């Protein structure tokens, strides 16, 4: 059988701030990639430089990053809120 882990200490506000920084960092990263792709499309447009090819690649790349952004946010807020709302009701699956 598992030994009982140490009781959870109340997390300091710094933990949440750092978690928020993690989320903001990831969001900025994904946003800057999307921004970079948009800039390259703009450059190809103003220079008449095979604009269509750039759009074709961007149509694949941008949704991937948007999807990753959505998934990361979904996990971040879902796990955080799930912990707060149901912290006294552990699931049938073993608690870690």
Residues within the interface to other proteins (CB under 8 A): 1-3, 5-6, 8, 11, 14-15, 18-19, 22, 29-30, 33, 36-37, 39-41, 43-44, 49-50, 53-54, 57-58, 60-61, 64-65, 67-68, 71-72, 74-76, 78-87, 89-96
Q: How would you classify residue 27: left for phi > 0, otherwise alpha for psi between -120 and 50, otherwise beta?
A: alpha
Nearest distance in Å: CB 68, other proteins: 6
Per-residue tokens: 68:
């990753």
Nearest distance in Å: CB 2, other proteins: 5
Residue 7: partners with Cβ closer than 8 Å, 6 or more residues away: none
Which residue, 24 or 67, is less far from other proteins as judged by CB?
67
Cβ atoms of residues 29 and 22 within 8 Å = no
Nearest distance in Å: CB 17, other proteins: 9
51 vs 90: CA distance, rounded Å: 54
50 vs 58: CA distance, rounded Å: 13
Nearest distance in Å: CB 20, other proteins: 10
């Amino acid at each position: 059988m598992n030994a009982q882990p140490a009781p959870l200490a109340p997390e300091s506000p710094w933990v949440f701030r750092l978690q928020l920084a993690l989320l903001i960092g990831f969001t900025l990263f994904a946003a800057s990639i999307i921004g970079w792709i948009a800039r390259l499309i703009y450059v190809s447009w103003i220079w008449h430089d095979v604009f269509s090819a750039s759009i074709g690649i961007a149509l694949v790349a941008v949704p991937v990053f948007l999807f990753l952004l959505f998934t990361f946010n979904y996990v971040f807020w879902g796990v955080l809120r799930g912990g707060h709302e149901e912290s006294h009701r552990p699931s049938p699956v073993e608690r870690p």
